[in-house]
Amino acid sequence: MEYPPSPAGLRRRPGGEAVFQGRAAAVPRLRRRPGLTRGEVQAQGSPRRLPGRHSVQGHLRVGLRRTETSKLDVVDFGRNPQARQFGRYGTLNVRYGKAKKGQPPRRRNVLSVMDWAVEAVADYVENVRPRFGFPDHPALWITERGGRLQPGSINDRFEAYRDAPKLPKDLVPHSIRHSYVTHLTEDGVDRRFIQQQVGHECDSSLAIYTHVSDDFMNTSLHKALAPAFAGA
Protein backbone atom coordinates (compact mmCIF):
# COMPACT_ATOMS: atom_id res chain seq x y z
CA MET A 1 0.00 0.00 0.00
CA GLU A 2 1.28 3.49 -0.88
CA TYR A 3 1.04 6.10 1.87
CA PRO A 4 0.24 9.74 1.14
CA PRO A 5 2.92 12.34 1.77
CA SER A 6 3.30 13.20 5.46
CA PRO A 7 2.04 16.63 6.54
CA ALA A 8 4.42 18.93 8.38
CA GLY A 9 5.25 17.60 11.83
CA LEU A 10 4.59 13.93 10.98
CA ARG A 11 7.25 11.30 10.46
CA ARG A 12 6.82 7.66 9.51
CA ARG A 13 8.57 4.88 11.34
CA PRO A 14 9.66 1.72 9.51
CA GLY A 15 6.50 -0.15 8.63
CA GLY A 16 4.53 3.01 7.88
CA GLU A 17 3.45 4.04 11.41
CA ALA A 18 2.91 7.80 11.59
CA VAL A 19 4.16 9.69 14.64
CA PHE A 20 4.11 13.33 15.61
CA GLN A 21 7.49 14.93 16.25
CA GLY A 22 7.43 18.43 17.66
CA ARG A 23 4.63 20.96 17.82
CA ALA A 24 6.58 23.68 16.07
CA ALA A 25 6.50 21.87 12.72
CA ALA A 26 2.71 21.57 12.67
CA VAL A 27 1.53 24.65 14.58
CA PRO A 28 2.25 28.31 13.79
CA ARG A 29 4.92 29.77 16.04
CA LEU A 30 3.01 31.80 18.60
CA ARG A 31 4.38 33.44 21.73
CA ARG A 32 2.70 31.41 24.47
CA ARG A 33 2.86 31.55 28.22
CA PRO A 34 4.24 28.32 29.67
CA GLY A 35 1.98 25.87 31.44
CA LEU A 36 2.35 23.73 34.54
CA THR A 37 2.41 19.95 34.54
CA ARG A 38 -0.30 18.06 36.44
CA GLY A 39 2.14 17.34 39.24
CA GLU A 40 3.13 21.00 39.53
CA VAL A 41 -0.50 22.10 39.58
CA GLN A 42 -1.43 19.67 42.33
CA ALA A 43 1.66 20.64 44.31
CA GLN A 44 0.41 24.23 44.25
CA GLY A 45 -2.93 22.98 45.56
CA SER A 46 -1.53 20.70 48.24
CA PRO A 47 -2.86 21.33 51.77
CA ARG A 48 0.77 21.24 52.94
CA ARG A 49 1.87 24.26 50.94
CA LEU A 50 2.90 27.59 52.45
CA PRO A 51 0.51 29.86 54.42
CA GLY A 52 -1.85 31.88 52.22
CA ARG A 53 -1.88 29.17 49.55
CA HIS A 54 -5.66 29.04 49.27
CA SER A 55 -6.02 32.11 47.05
CA VAL A 56 -3.76 30.41 44.52
CA GLN A 57 -5.75 27.20 44.90
CA GLY A 58 -8.92 29.11 44.03
CA HIS A 59 -7.15 30.42 40.96
CA LEU A 60 -6.18 26.84 40.14
CA ARG A 61 -9.55 25.20 40.63
CA VAL A 62 -11.17 26.55 37.47
CA GLY A 63 -8.47 28.51 35.64
CA LEU A 64 -9.83 31.93 36.55
CA ARG A 65 -8.26 35.25 35.72
CA ARG A 66 -6.71 37.12 38.66
CA THR A 67 -9.44 39.78 38.79
CA GLU A 68 -12.14 37.11 38.62
CA THR A 69 -10.50 35.32 41.54
CA SER A 70 -10.12 38.49 43.60
CA LYS A 71 -13.76 39.52 43.24
CA LEU A 72 -15.33 36.21 44.23
CA ASP A 73 -17.72 36.25 47.19
CA VAL A 74 -18.55 33.39 49.52
CA VAL A 75 -22.12 33.27 48.17
CA ASP A 76 -20.90 32.68 44.61
CA PHE A 77 -20.72 28.91 45.17
CA GLY A 78 -23.69 26.71 44.41
CA ARG A 79 -24.75 23.09 44.04
CA ASN A 80 -24.76 21.16 40.78
CA PRO A 81 -27.48 18.44 40.70
CA GLN A 82 -25.39 16.57 38.12
CA ALA A 83 -22.32 16.50 40.42
CA ARG A 84 -23.67 15.96 43.91
CA GLN A 85 -20.29 14.72 45.14
CA PHE A 86 -19.05 18.32 45.20
CA GLY A 87 -21.76 19.49 47.61
CA ARG A 88 -22.08 23.27 47.86
CA TYR A 89 -19.01 23.71 45.64
CA GLY A 90 -20.46 22.23 42.44
CA THR A 91 -20.75 25.54 40.58
CA LEU A 92 -19.14 28.96 40.77
CA ASN A 93 -20.86 32.16 39.68
CA VAL A 94 -18.13 34.35 38.14
CA ARG A 95 -19.64 37.85 38.22
CA TYR A 96 -16.66 39.87 37.01
CA GLY A 97 -15.52 38.17 33.85
CA LYS A 98 -13.45 40.01 31.26
CA ALA A 99 -15.58 42.70 29.64
CA LYS A 100 -15.61 43.99 26.10
CA LYS A 101 -14.73 47.64 25.66
CA GLY A 102 -17.55 49.85 26.90
CA GLN A 103 -19.59 46.94 28.27
CA PRO A 104 -20.14 45.62 31.81
CA PRO A 105 -18.30 42.54 33.12
CA ARG A 106 -19.47 39.28 31.61
CA ARG A 107 -20.94 36.70 33.97
CA ARG A 108 -20.69 32.94 33.63
CA ASN A 109 -21.23 29.82 35.69
CA VAL A 110 -18.20 27.56 36.00
CA LEU A 111 -18.66 23.89 36.88
CA SER A 112 -16.33 22.02 39.21
CA VAL A 113 -14.55 19.10 37.53
CA MET A 114 -11.45 18.45 39.69
CA ASP A 115 -12.18 16.87 43.07
CA TRP A 116 -8.79 17.74 44.60
CA ALA A 117 -9.36 21.44 43.86
CA VAL A 118 -12.83 21.36 45.45
CA GLU A 119 -11.31 19.76 48.57
CA ALA A 120 -8.73 22.56 48.79
CA VAL A 121 -11.32 25.33 48.54
CA ALA A 122 -13.66 23.60 51.00
CA ASP A 123 -10.75 23.37 53.47
CA TYR A 124 -10.21 27.12 53.17
CA VAL A 125 -13.88 28.12 53.53
CA GLU A 126 -14.65 25.78 56.41
CA ASN A 127 -11.38 25.66 58.37
CA VAL A 128 -9.08 28.54 57.44
CA ARG A 129 -11.22 31.58 56.59
CA PRO A 130 -13.08 31.59 59.96
CA ARG A 131 -9.75 32.08 61.76
CA PHE A 132 -9.39 35.57 60.27
CA GLY A 133 -12.33 36.71 62.40
CA PHE A 134 -14.37 38.49 59.71
CA PRO A 135 -17.46 36.29 59.31
CA ASP A 136 -19.58 39.07 57.79
CA HIS A 137 -17.11 40.06 55.07
CA PRO A 138 -18.60 39.09 51.68
CA ALA A 139 -15.28 38.36 49.95
CA LEU A 140 -14.19 34.77 49.55
CA TRP A 141 -10.46 35.54 49.69
CA ILE A 142 -9.64 37.91 52.53
CA THR A 143 -6.41 39.18 54.03
CA GLU A 144 -5.32 38.95 57.65
CA ARG A 145 -6.53 42.56 58.12
CA GLY A 146 -9.98 41.87 56.76
CA GLY A 147 -9.60 43.30 53.27
CA ARG A 148 -10.39 41.71 49.93
CA LEU A 149 -7.35 40.01 48.40
CA GLN A 150 -6.18 42.02 45.38
CA PRO A 151 -4.77 40.73 42.07
CA GLY A 152 -1.29 42.00 42.93
CA SER A 153 -1.25 39.91 46.09
CA ILE A 154 -2.20 36.83 44.07
CA ASN A 155 0.89 37.53 41.93
CA ASP A 156 3.12 37.80 45.01
CA ARG A 157 1.83 34.59 46.58
CA PHE A 158 2.06 32.66 43.34
CA GLU A 159 5.69 33.70 42.92
CA ALA A 160 6.49 32.49 46.45
CA TYR A 161 4.93 29.08 45.77
CA ARG A 162 6.60 28.90 42.35
CA ASP A 163 10.05 29.71 43.72
CA ALA A 164 9.91 27.39 46.76
CA PRO A 165 10.16 24.19 44.64
CA LYS A 166 12.35 26.02 42.08
CA LEU A 167 9.86 25.96 39.22
CA PRO A 168 10.73 28.01 36.10
CA LYS A 169 10.70 31.77 36.64
CA ASP A 170 8.69 32.39 33.49
CA LEU A 171 5.62 30.77 35.07
CA VAL A 172 3.03 33.39 35.99
CA PRO A 173 -0.50 33.16 37.44
CA HIS A 174 -1.97 33.18 33.93
CA SER A 175 0.00 29.98 33.24
CA ILE A 176 -2.56 28.23 35.44
CA ARG A 177 -5.31 29.10 32.95
CA HIS A 178 -3.25 27.56 30.17
CA SER A 179 -2.66 24.45 32.27
CA TYR A 180 -6.36 24.12 33.10
CA VAL A 181 -7.30 24.22 29.41
CA THR A 182 -4.51 21.80 28.48
CA HIS A 183 -5.35 19.21 31.12
CA LEU A 184 -9.05 19.19 30.25
CA THR A 185 -8.14 18.84 26.57
CA GLU A 186 -5.86 15.87 27.29
CA ASP A 187 -8.67 14.31 29.36
CA GLY A 188 -10.91 14.38 26.29
CA VAL A 189 -13.30 17.08 27.51
CA ASP A 190 -15.38 18.73 24.77
CA ARG A 191 -13.79 21.95 23.55
CA ARG A 192 -17.05 23.86 23.66
CA PHE A 193 -17.39 23.00 27.35
CA ILE A 194 -13.82 24.16 28.04
CA GLN A 195 -14.48 27.36 26.09
CA GLN A 196 -17.48 28.16 28.28
CA GLN A 197 -15.58 27.28 31.45
CA VAL A 198 -12.83 29.85 30.82
CA GLY A 199 -15.06 32.51 29.24
CA HIS A 200 -13.70 32.52 25.69
CA GLU A 201 -15.93 33.57 22.82
CA CYS A 202 -13.68 32.17 20.10
CA ASP A 203 -12.20 28.71 19.75
CA SER A 204 -9.07 30.31 18.29
CA SER A 205 -8.34 31.88 21.69
CA LEU A 206 -8.68 28.47 23.31
CA ALA A 207 -6.19 26.99 20.84
CA ILE A 208 -3.50 29.47 21.92
CA TYR A 209 -4.02 28.34 25.52
CA THR A 210 -3.47 24.65 24.76
CA HIS A 211 -0.05 23.03 25.33
CA VAL A 212 -0.70 19.32 24.86
CA SER A 213 2.15 16.83 25.10
CA ASP A 214 3.64 14.93 22.17
CA ASP A 215 2.22 11.70 23.65
CA PHE A 216 -1.27 13.18 23.48
CA MET A 217 -0.65 14.31 19.90
CA ASN A 218 0.47 10.82 18.92
CA THR A 219 -2.57 9.22 20.54
CA SER A 220 -4.90 11.66 18.78
CA LEU A 221 -3.11 11.06 15.49
CA HIS A 222 -3.52 7.29 15.74
CA LYS A 223 -7.22 7.67 16.49
CA ALA A 224 -7.67 9.96 13.49
CA LEU A 225 -5.78 7.66 11.11
CA ALA A 226 -7.26 4.37 12.32
CA PRO A 227 -10.44 4.51 10.17
CA ALA A 228 -8.43 5.32 7.03
CA PHE A 229 -6.05 2.40 7.49
CA ALA A 230 -8.49 -0.10 9.00
CA GLY A 231 -8.77 -2.05 5.78
CA ALA A 232 -5.10 -1.92 4.85
| pLDDT tens figures, 28-42 | 333 444 555 655 555
3-class secondary structure, 207 = helix
Catalytic residue among 49, 174, 178, 211, which? 174
Q: What is the domain count for the chain?
A: 2
Catalytic residue among 53, 65, 157, 178, which? 65
Q: Is residue 197 domain-shared with residue 232, that is, in the same domain?
A: no
| pLDDT tens figures, 165-178 | 888 888 888 888 88
More confident residue, 62 or 181: 181
Lowest-confidence pick of 5-14, 22-31, 56-65, 122-131:
22-31
Residues of the domain holding 158: 33-210
Mean pLDDT, residues 218-232: 60
Asked whether residue 48 carries a pLDDT value surpassing 60, the answer given is no
Asked whether residue 135 carries a pLDDT value surpassing 60, the answer given is yes
Catalytic residue among 53, 66, 162, 200, which? 200
Q: Is residue 77 domain-shared with residue 8, that is, in the same domain?
A: no
For the packed helices 115-123 and 54-62, what is the interaxial angle rounded to 10 degrees? Answer: 150
- The DSSP result for 114-150, as a single string, is -HHHHHHHHHIIIIIGGGGS-TT--BSSB-TTSPBPP
Confidence (pLDDT) at 17:
47
Q: Is residue 13 domain-shared with residue 39, that is, in the same domain?
A: no
Q: Is residue 132 domain-shared with residue 220, that is, in the same domain?
A: no
Confidence (pLDDT) at 199:
86
137 is catalytic: no
Q: Is residue 189 domain-shared with residue 114, that is, in the same domain?
A: yes
Catalytic residue among 29, 101, 145, 169, which? 101
Catalytic residue among 89, 124, 180, 209, which? 209
Mean pLDDT, residues 111-119: 87
3 is catalytic: no
209 is catalytic: yes
Q: Is residue 45 domain-shared with residue 73, that is, in the same domain?
A: yes
Asked whether residue 16 carries a pLDDT value surpassing 60, the answer given is no
174 is catalytic: yes
Q: Is residue 204 domain-shared with residue 97, that is, in the same domain?
A: yes
Confidence (pLDDT) at 162:
85
Q: Is residue 2 domain-shared with residue 49, that is, in the same domain?
A: no
User: Of 21, 219, 17, 218, whose CA–CA distance to 8 is shortest?
Assistant: 21
